Structure 1
Amino acid sequence: MSKAPRRPPQLRGRVFRGSVAVSRGLLTRNDLRSSAWRPLFRDVYADAKVSITHVVRCTAVGRWLIPPEAAIAGRAAAGLYGCGTPTASDPVDVLIPRDARIGPATGLRVHHGEIDPDDILERAGVRVTSPARTCWDLARWLDVIEAVVVIDAILARRLTTVSALREYALNRAGRRGWRSLLRAVDLADAGAESPQESRTRVRLVLAGLPRPETQWIVAERGRFVARLDLAWPQFKVAVEYDGLWHDDPEQFHRDRRRLNRLLGGDWIVLHVTGKRLRDDFDGFLAEVRAALRARSRSSW
């Protein structure tokens, strides 16, 4: 019968440095190779019974793998703020001062840059870039659509405001990325309720269409009829993103019933799915443009 792996009570349910556990006599190097422990990074291990999330990995990085003046940044920082849903296997973005260096570590995405004193906050014992700095880095590191997706979520959680982000960018005029942040902020909208809604809106605007309203409420004689993901109320044209929430059949039917009432009135409601955005955005764009043209005298 094989011997059960050693699981000292001091390490159960914990994430720890392997070298520290060995130096204290809790484990041997061979013990660390057993099924009881899961390697996360170089010399960082977790009890195999611990559920490893992106937050757990960010916490380990912040505590043990980066210098004190560095911080969790970018999408990883946004995830710590509850914005976005990074998976456990996604790389952890870290921001390091220009003159600092860290050893190679699989699973990290290292960025060097100037860090202002107000750019770093502490969250649950981990240094993380402030919401404003996080938005700036996202605007520098991602394409504008993906940057706006996360900035929308940060705005929706009221971690910062559009005016505060504009001021942050203007105060850094001349530094790399300040114009990118202004552009992303001009496209951002706290009303977006999902990443795909954000992507749909930004892609339509970048294609030259007028900016739609988000989560537009349609009422009839003071009574609620429907809430529309994206709407041009002056033209009574709307776009609805059909997403994963349609796994709830009852919700699907309730929403479609409301939309059918709109279709029976003066509204044109166009539906789009993730597959359509990915494979046939140009076709969808043509449909939206045609609907807007039919309701206006513009030549978008």
Structure 2
Amino acid sequence: MSRSPRRPPQLRGRIFRGSRAISRGLLTRNELRSSAWRPLFRDVYADAQLPVTHRTRCAAAGRLLIPAGAAIAGRSAAVLYGCAHTTFDDTVDVLVPRGTPAGPAAGLRVHRGPVDAGDVVDRAGIPVTSPVRTCWDVASWLDLVEAVVVIDALLARQLTDVSTLRGYALARAGRRGWRAMLRAVDLADGGAESPQESRARVRLVLAGLPRPRTQWVVSAQGDFLARLDLAWPDYRVAVEYDGLWHDDPAQFDADRRRLNRVVGGDWIVLHLTAKRLREDFDGFVAEVRATLRSRGHRTGAPRIPEQPAP
């Protein structure tokens, strides 16, 4: 009968450097290769019984791998702020100041650039780019839509605000990335309640449609009727994103009853599914454009009233 791998108590539930565990006599090289330990990076291991996520790998890289002055950055930093979703094995983004030695490492994507005072903060012992610098980096490293998805989430959690982001970019005018930052910030909206809502909104705007309002509240005689994902209130046209949560029959029924009340108030509500967002977004854009035209929209600056308080 095979023996269970040896698991020294000092390493249980821990992330550690394999070379140090060997030098301290806690494990042999053969024991380190057993099923008791899970490799995260070169010479970095975790207890195999420890749930390992991208956040875990960011913590391991931040505490054990990256040089002084460097930080977890980009989408990986957004994960640590609870503002992005990744899989376990996605590459960890790291920002390293120019002139700081840092060789390539499997599992890490190393970016080099200037790091200003205040660009790096400490989160539970992990060096992470500040929310503002994270927005700068995702605007530089990701495509425009995905950058706005992350910025929307940071705004929604009130970790930064549009004025601060614009000021940060303008203070660095002329530096590579400042225009990308401004463009992404101008498209951002902290009212988005999901990454897919953000993607839909930004792609609609990039397709030439007027910018919709997010989470628009519809009321009648002062009574709340509904909150709409995306709306052009001047034309009483709205878009609702139908995500996977609609597999819940009770929620689906409640949602449809809510939207029926809005339609009764002379609104047109168009539904965007994940499949259409992925496979037929051009067709959906054509439907939205035709609907807005039927309600009187013409090319030019849209008339958008102020959103009332919910």
- TM-superposition CA deviations, 1:165-216 (whole Å, max 9, x none): 0000000000001011001000000000000100110011111111111001
Where does 1:137-216 land on structure 2 (aligned, <5 Å)? 137-216=137-216
Deviation at 1:84, TM superposition (A): 1.2
| Map of 2:3 onto structure 1 | 3
Separation of aligned partners in 1, 2:228 and 2:4 = 57
TM-score where L is the length of structure 2: 0.95
TM-score where L is the length of structure 1: 0.98
Higher mean C-alpha deviation, range 266-275 or range 246-255: 246-255
| Map of 1:120 onto structure 2 | 120
Higher mean C-alpha deviation, range 68-77 or range 215-224: 215-224
Do 1:72 and 1:127's aligned partners in 2 also have CA atoms closer than 8 Å?
yes
Separation of aligned partners in 1, 2:199 and 2:43 = 39
SS across alignment from 1:96 = strand
Separation of aligned partners in 2, 1:294 and 1:119 = 48
Identity across the alignment (%): 73
Deviation at 1:261, TM superposition (A): 2.0
| Map of 1:71 onto structure 2 | 71
Separation of aligned partners in 1, 2:170 and 2:297 = 37
Separation of aligned partners in 2, 1:189 and 1:248 = 28
Higher mean C-alpha deviation, range 80-89 or range 233-242: 80-89
| Map of 1:231 onto structure 2 | 231
How many residues are matched?
Answer: 300
| Map of 1:133 onto structure 2 | 133
Separation of aligned partners in 2, 1:60 and 1:155 = 27
| Map of 1:278 onto structure 2 | 278
Deviation at 1:280, TM superposition (A): 0.8
Separation of aligned partners in 1, 2:125 and 2:107 = 21
Do 1:243 and 1:274's aligned partners in 2 also have CA atoms closer than 8 Å?
yes
| Map of 1:295 onto structure 2 | 295
SS across alignment from 2:103 = coil
Separation of aligned partners in 2, 1:233 and 1:9 = 62
- TM-superposition CA deviations, 1:96-126 (whole Å, max 9, x none): 1121232332111110111112101001100
Deviation at 1:299, TM superposition (A): 4.1
Deviation at 1:135, TM superposition (A): 0.3
SS across alignment from 2:118 = helix
Separation of aligned partners in 2, 1:258 and 1:47 = 48
Higher mean C-alpha deviation, range 214-223 or range 186-195: 214-223
| Map of 1:103 onto structure 2 | 103
Do 2:104 and 2:110's aligned partners in 1 also have CA atoms closer than 8 Å?
no
Separation of aligned partners in 2, 1:206 and 1:188 = 12
What 5-or-longer segments of structure 2 have no aligned partner?
A: 301-310
Separation of aligned partners in 2, 1:266 and 1:62 = 54
Query: AA paired with 1:122?
Result: D
Deviation at 1:274, TM superposition (A): 1.5
Separation of aligned partners in 2, 1:231 and 1:121 = 37
SS across alignment from 2:215 = strand
| Map of 1:88 onto structure 2 | 88
Do 2:74 and 2:94's aligned partners in 1 also have CA atoms closer than 8 Å?
yes
